[in-house]
Chain A
Amino acid sequence: MPASFFDVDGTLVHTNLLHPTVFYLTNQPNPLRSLGALARAALGGPRMVLAELVDRRRFNELLFANYEGISSDRLLTLADEAFDSVMKRAVYPGARDLVQRCLGEGHDVVLVSGALDFLMERLARHLGATAVIANRLDFKDGYATGKVLRPIVAGPEKARLVREWARDHGHDLGDCFGYSDSYSDVPMLSVVGHPCAVNPDYRLAKLALTYSWPVIHLGKRPAVESRMLERLP
């Protein structure tokens, strides 16, 4: 039986890792703390931009450092609201249909995301996905330390995690499907037998064209350059 591995941000939802983070930072116990947290995050912005350009894992580490000091109770209590107000409404039209079709074909559907596990679990329930591979925060005495537990789900690490998950659950990767919007997920897409670019960025669209990977758009109008690429012979 095959499995379908879905990247989430940009693939199934039009949010990214920043959106839920901003939600949590603006929903601190009092406005002053919110302001402070947002200011600290803003100051770290340039480092995050730089990290995003160089190493996705480092970007995740810097981003999740902003969760430092937030209690696990608070994170979980606000998770439903964060999901409803940030992620649920950002699900692409067609994303649910695609996931349902995969399930209908008997696939295991696995969300593979750099986002936090407690949010991904809610998204998985909403879409009907069967499993989640996501980042987990480190907690000490019930408070987030600002560190992310290893392995960090990002870039090439996703490919290793997908391989391990498939092996542990008895899937032949050659029969499995992978879906992503981002060039940074090429390693993950490369380990499955049926890679598919979804709402691809320019670099992934170009690669998909080269390797004749199917390109689909889940309700998002493709960028002009991607559309031009797709029409090339």
Chain B
Amino acid sequence: MTTPSSSGPKPPQHAVAVTLPVRVKSLETPAPPSSPALVSRARGRADHPLVVTIDKRSAARSVFSGDTVLEVELPVGSRVIYPRPPMEALKDVAAAVRYACNHPLKSDPLHAKLRPGMKVVIAIDDVSVPLPSMRRPDAREQVLTVVLELLADHGVEDVEIIIATSIHRRMTAAEVRHAVGDRIFGAYWPDRLYNHDAEDPKGMKTLGTTEHGEVVEINRRAAEADLLIYANVNMVPMSGGHKSVAVGLCGYESLRAHHNPRVMRDCWSYMDPASSALATSIERMGRLAEKALDVFHIETTINNRMFDAPLSFFHKSEDDWTGGERAAFKGLAFTLSKLPSAARQAIFQRVPSPYGVTGVNAGECEAVHEKTLEKSFAQYLVPVVGQCDVLVTGIPYISPYNVNSFLNPLLVQVMAQGYLFNFYRGAPLVKKGGTMIVFHPCTDQFDKEHHAPYIEFVHDVLAQTRDAAEMHHKFEEKFARNPAYVELYRKGHAYHPAHPFYMWYWGEAGRQHLGRVIVVGADNDYIPKLLGWETARTFAEALAMAKGSKRDPEITMLHVPPIVMADVTV
């Protein structure tokens, strides 16, 4: 299994060579959903069954364009990469948590660390995972229930639960209740179950500085606890591991070490810790934290069952849709096209997903995370041979940063050049200088509370420069220290004022790699212009623009959601 390397990320050319046939073989799934006719051997290469090649008989493909869905006709020969079917969920999660705590990896069992009178902090992931929220009981509730019982059995009464928001917005009471369940919420909220505050002048503690000058500063209560337990829900390979403590509980001083254009440009990709400068930096900081503290990690992995009936057809190739599913899609597309935006958001965001927990591992950070990554890659990776010239993808209604709010233009950018571009291992799915075609209305709309600092960022900072390095040096710190925005982060439900900058840096690797981004269906021209994108009214127009002088470009569609990662070899 690939583990994070301390020697720094590899450039993509090297990364291409590390894709191991053995690993690919282990990910083979039984019975792919596509029809045999569509599993072609285009351009003389053998594609994985989940990589479907379009032919004359292929159905139109469904894509998300924000909170609407569309059908697009891809040219014959185009490839469509589908997500793997959801992995089987554990039947008894509580038993798995108990087993993991009693049989931890490279650590004493949790019960052996407990003694009456000790101070324990349990940190949990925030509202940014999973997406959409998980149908109750959430994995956090299932882990906390077992852990809190164990603590009580061992006479540990001084327990506080901190939501590791880092500089994300504070979770609302309703969101916390959903994540931890009624019983735990009733017993702990708000005095012993609360959001992390990275700007509390007395609430942060510096643990030290790494040999690379990275300041490790985390939540004081967590730093001063006798035992810190981190309960993670692992949605993508980028999350968990050292990121839990070193990022989830940190503040602006620590984040600056790696959330900057220099580090972000050196990630190939974010989703592959071994090739990510971001992961390497976080790993150094996390190791320092683990040395200073007694941390017990509990990581859960979930499958990708994002949609339940009647929307479960999104998990399948359109060629395999039944008549009923095709009608359901048409009905959905029609209904969404007629509904106002608020109603469309409610339909998608208020319905939790039936995710299943696929694994629970506990113990020492790196040993646990290695197991987590195995599961995560097994769920998401689909082997893909060869890069493409044109990458096509829809941008859905949700990102980690707009739960219960609108996907504003900056987040549209981070979804395209950040997340979707980075859903690969090995080499980028699109060639250097290639084109990305995305579908989204790019509406100039923001949640005035959650994304208050984003508005000024988009309409002031971005209007002055798109150069990440320039905005980093010229604007970031001043912006991040704006007392009004910091107040909104601390007492309201706004993202920290540094966050919009990070969202721009998050797209930096994609921006540096891609030649152009063309957005189809934008309802205005100026937002795409601010983002540095071109616009097309139709997919055909976008395709014509993308083709340019290239006669027969390789076109690949990443069919999301649910999440899929391309394991690319060239």
Contacts and interface: CB of A to CB of B under 8 A. Distances in A.
A4 B449 contact: no
Interface stretch (A43-51, A112-120, A125-133, A212-220): A212-220
B186 to A, nearest CB: 23
B41 interface: no
Interface in B328-346: 341-342
Nearest to A197: B484
- B contact face: mostly helix, strand, loop, or mixed: helix
A94 B200 CA distance: 12
Nearest to B443: A233
A231 interface: yes
Contact of A214 (B201, B341, B447, B488): B488
A64 B406 CA distance: 49
Contact of B484 (A196, A231, A232): A196
Interface residues of B, number: 25
Nearest to A99: B483
Nearest to B408: A233
Interface in A69-107: 94, 97-98, 101-102, 104-105, 107
Contacts of A136: none
B448 A230 contact: yes
A212 B481 CA distance: 18
Nearest to A101: B483
Interface in A196-210: 196, 209
B381 to A, nearest CB: 37
A66 to B, nearest CB: 36
Given A230-B449, A233-B406, A94 B484 contact: no
B487 interface: yes
A177 interface: yes
A94 B487 contact: yes
A233 B485 CA distance: 19
Interface range on chain A: under 10, 10 to 19, 20 to 34, or 35 or more? 20 to 34
A98 B342 contact: no
B491 interface: yes
B181 interface: no
A222 to B, nearest CB: 10
B216 interface: no
A28 to B, nearest CB: 41
B530 to A, nearest CB: 15
Interface in B399-445: 406, 445
A179 interface: yes
Given A216-B487, A217-B492, A233-B406, A194 B482 contact: yes
Contacts of B481: 105
B449 to A, nearest CB: 6
B523 to A, nearest CB: 14
Interface string B464-499: 000000000000000001111111100110100000
Interface string B288-314: 000000000000000000000000000
B491 A214 contact: no
A233 B447 contact: yes
Nearest to B484: A196
Nearest to A103: B483
A98 B483 contact: yes
B446 A216 contact: no
Given A98-B483, A105-B481, A177-B484, A216 B491 contact: yes
Contact of A179 (B449, B453, B484): B484
B341 A216 contact: no
A175 B413 CA distance: 28
B288 to A, nearest CB: 27
Nearest to B341: A233
A101 B445 contact: no
A212 B446 contact: yes
Q: Counting chain A CB atoms within 10 Å of each CB, which of B448, B485, B492 scores highest?
A: B448
Q: Counting chain A CB atoms within 10 Å of each CB, which of B445, B449, B482, B483 scores highest?
A: B483
Contacts of B341: 233
A51 to B, nearest CB: 32
Contacts of A179: 484
A105 B342 contact: no
A94 B459 CA distance: 29
A107 B484 CA distance: 13
A97 to B, nearest CB: 8
A216 B342 contact: no
Nearest to A100: B201
A214 B484 CA distance: 7
B86 to A, nearest CB: 33
B391 interface: no
Contacts of A94: 487, 491
Given A105-B481, A233-B447, A214 B486 contact: no
A214 B492 CA distance: 11
B491 A217 contact: yes
Contacts of B483: 4, 98, 101-102, 105, 107, 177
6 contacts: A101-B486, A105-B483, A216-B491, A216-B492, A217-B492, A233-B447
Given A104-B201, A179-B484, A233-B406, 14 more contacts: A97-B487, A101-B487, A102-B483, A105-B481, A107-B483, A177-B484, A209-B448, A212-B455, A214-B485, A214-B488, A216-B484, A216-B491, A230-B448, A232-B448
Interface of B: 201, 341-342, 406, 445-449, 452-453, 455-456, 459, 481-488, 491-492, 494
Q: Which 10 A/B pairs are nearest by Cβ-Cβ distance?
A: A196-B484, A212-B455, A101-B483, A214-B484, A102-B483, A216-B487, A214-B452, A105-B481, A233-B445, A98-B487
